[in-house]
Structure 1
Amino acid sequence: MTQLPTVLACGLATLDVTQVVDRVPGPDEKVVARSLAVAAGGPALNAAITAARLGCAATLLTRVGEGGPAAAVRAELAAEGVALVDAADAAWTLPVSTVLVTQGTGERAVVSTNAAGRAPSAPADVTLPDGTAAVLVDGHHLDLALGAAAAARAAGVPVLLDGGSWKPGLDELLALVDVAVLSADLRLPDGPQGALDDDDVDALLAGVGALGPAVVARSSGPGPVDVLVRTGGRSKRGRVEVQQVDDDTIVDTLGAGDVLHGAALAGLARLPRTSLALPGAPADPGLVLVGALSALTVATRVATASVQHAGARGWTRDPELVATLRAALDG
């Protein structure tokens, strides 16, 4: 029997309370929800479950703690086959996210306490699971992220950043990242903050790359994923076109970015080392670009499938779809 690739996702876990509404209420207004769902969430958690569904042995390093919401998260991770390393102390309270999904468009509005200011920032002492092939960090729980990325760097294991937004300490973390996949919302603190034109995107990719990653990609929802590879003093640009779907098939965009990053993590764990630009092992930028485009192409397919189902993991309830996507990664 072939051994499953082992991956570690490090970052935020939450309990998500999601309600579907016809529209987001205005000030002092109440609306009646069409449905209610309570489930485990968070970028790293959703990425870990995505990777597990795509054929990886996944571990989540986070802070969960005790209490009812924490127990629900633990139970869901166990049901999904994701191992949990819980770094919470007795004072930790699991963040709860309130999510409003607009019926008809799948757009979402999210309110969450996340983990800002609630944990130490000095790097934690992290031991990678045996056989770890790739590590994901989402920038939350910076002490855990720095510890996990440093351990991966020492072991020659690639580190993937889920760059949802700029967070304090991200420049320090990027120095230990090999592949950064940015959302359309991320901006450099000293760069343009509004809508970006093509030159701005080029500058963003180069600016993030200058902080450490050899591969920097930027997703843009249903738009293409732009990719920059810089290694051995040379650079290559590439682009992944995203499969387009009819608007009336979009059910929910919640967690689509998390799914994209989890699928990219699963793809990265399968790439041969010759397709990775790891420190101390110079690689041809063309080969690295081919590997990055291959992993991201399948990752965008998984993310596209996710928005056509309810929640971040609705797509996993279709065994045929899961099998097809997993085979695309294995191929």
Structure 2
Amino acid sequence: MTVLLAGLCTVDIVQRVAELPEPGQKVQSASVSVAAGGPATNAAVTVAALGGRALLLTVLGSHPLAELARSDLRECDVEVSDALACHSDPPPVSAVAVRERDGERTVVSHNAAAVPEVAAPRRLPDVDAVLVDGHHPELALAAARWGRRLSRPVVVDAGSWKPVFTELLPLADIVACSAQFRAPAAALRGVPTVITTSGADPVRWSSGGESGEVAVPAVAARDTLGAGDVWHGALVTKVGKLGIPRLIEFANAVAAERVRHAGPRSWLGPVKAKMGVT
């Protein structure tokens, strides 16, 4: 399974703390991790962990901080196509604090707001599915249009409304929203499948005139950072192979395994073992 994932790549600095700090308060962290992050990036790591070939189309640039993300992604077997390799500014950086007792987190992120508009590569590879998060609009549209041209499933990770979604959603086969997603009334009209996640609550779906809910496994969460992105990555590895309820069940199971483990990459070995990936 080869998946093209277009979107944000950040450098995540993750610290585990006993309690999340109040305004003006300083706290001591128990550990510090540095890893690549961002919705499409975390989904790409998941695709690779589940035995797929993950092709990440993003913007990193030439700043020394970008090598931290590249190095991590090489370790995770994610292939990176940098659409603006000469960009000299620092890549987007996220400062993350994760609460030790329940895995809840706070994130402060610059995202891709300051990154110039970029043109997608003239030629994209043959793939089995496409996932986009909308953070680099031109890359998202190019990837989604390529998926449609190849008649491959196109999944949109709709965490929060972005103006590009006006053009992007009509290209989607599946739009996977968070419960906090707010869109213009007609934005999702005509999308074949809409899925809404809500943390530990059941995942709701509607597809082809049918609808339903799929329960989320109850787990003792140790780290919720990127769990939704992992869910999307798991979903896209099986899209077109499973019916919608079973597809959601699979994504739920992989995301549940992620939150059981503390740290950005500690879950990869266990999920590979659980899914029989060598």
Using the size of structure 2 for normalisation, the TM-score is 0.93
Cα distance per residue 1:141-188 (max 9 Å; x no partner):
011000111111111111101111111221211111111111122112
Determine the C-alpha separation between the residues in 2 that align with 1:138 and 1:313: 21
Structure 1 position 297 matched with structure 2 position 271: no
8 Å contact kept, 2:3–2:129: yes
Distance 1:312 1:184, change over 3 A: farther
1:38-64 deviation digits (Å, cap 9, x = unpaired): 111111111001001111111100001
SS at match of 2:252: helix
* Identical positions, percent: 43
Aligned with residue 143 of structure 2, among 148, 159, 169 = 148
Which of 198, 202, 208 is residue 220 of structure 1 equivalent to? 198
In structure 2, the CA distance between the partners of 1:162 and 1:305, relative to structure 1 (3 Å rule), is: same
The alignment status of 1:323 with 2:273, answered yes or no, reads yes
Bigger RCO of structures 1 and 2 (CA < 8 A, at least 6 apart): 2
Structure possessing the higher radius of gyration over alpha carbons: 1
Over 6 Å off, 4+ runs = none
Match in the other structure for 1:281:
none
Residue 182 of structure 2 corresponds to residue 187 of structure 1: yes
- 8 Å CA contact 1:16–1:97 kept in 2: the answer is yes
Which protein has the bigger helix share? 1
Contact 1:119 1:141 in 2 (8 A): no
Q: Map Cα deviations across residues 274-315 of structure 1 (whole Å, 9 max, x no partner).
A: xxxxxxxxxxxxxxxx61222111110000111110134321
- 1:107-256 mapped onto 2 (5 Å cutoff): 107-120=104-117, 124-125=120-121, 127-130=123-126, 132-189=127-184, 207-210=186-189, 212-230=190-208, 235-245=209-219, 249-256=220-227
Q: CA 1:298 to 1:326, structure 2 compared with 1: closer, same or farther past 3 Å?
A: farther
Q: CA deviation at 1:238?
A: 2.0
Residue type of the alignment partner of 1:299: A
Once the two structures are TM-superposed, the CA of residue 226 in structure 1 deviates from its matched residue by: 0.5
Distance 1:154 1:76, change over 3 A: same
- Indicate yes or no: 2:65 matched with 1:87: no
**What SS does the corresponding residue of 2:21 show, helix, strand or coil?**
coil
User: Take 1:124 and 1:92, find their aligned partners in 2: how far apart are those partners?
Assistant: 19
8 Å CA contact 2:8, 2:135 repeated in 1: yes
Distance 1:238 1:225 in 2: 8
Contact 1:253 1:311 in 2 (8 A): no
Matched to 2:150, the amino acid is A
**Letter of the structure 2 residue corresponding to residue 323 of structure 1:** A
Considering only aligned residues, what root-mean-square deviation do their CA atoms show, in Å? 1.8
Q: CA–CA distance in 2 between the matches of 1:146 and 1:214?
A: 18
Q: Distance in 1 between matches of 2:197 and 2:172?
A: 17
Supply the AA of the counterpart residue of 1:94: P
For residues 73-110 of structure 1, give each alpha carbon's deviation from its aligned partner in whole angstroms, at most 9, with x where no partner exists: 11111121111110114344311100011121211100
SS at match of 1:216: strand
- CA–CA separation in structure 2 for the residues paired with 1:138 and 1:311: 23
Gaps of 5+ in 2: none
Q: Distance in 1 between matches of 2:113 and 2:212?
A: 34
The one of 1, 7, 12 aligned to 2:8: 12
Q: What SS class does the counterpart of residue 146 from structure 1 fall into?
A: helix
Which region of structure 1 is more displaced relative to structure 2, 162-171 or 51-60?
Answer: 162-171
Aligned pairs, number? 276
TM-score (norm 1): 0.79
Please state if 1:96 is matched with 2:93: yes
**Cα shift readout 1:192-242 (whole Å, capped 9, x = no counterpart):** xxxxxxxxxxxxxxx5530x4201000111111101113xxxx11122111
Mapped to 1, the partners of 2:274 and 2:29 lie a distance apart of: 34
AA matched with 2:143: A
Q: What does 1:56-75 correspond to in 2, within 5 Å?
A: 56-75=52-71
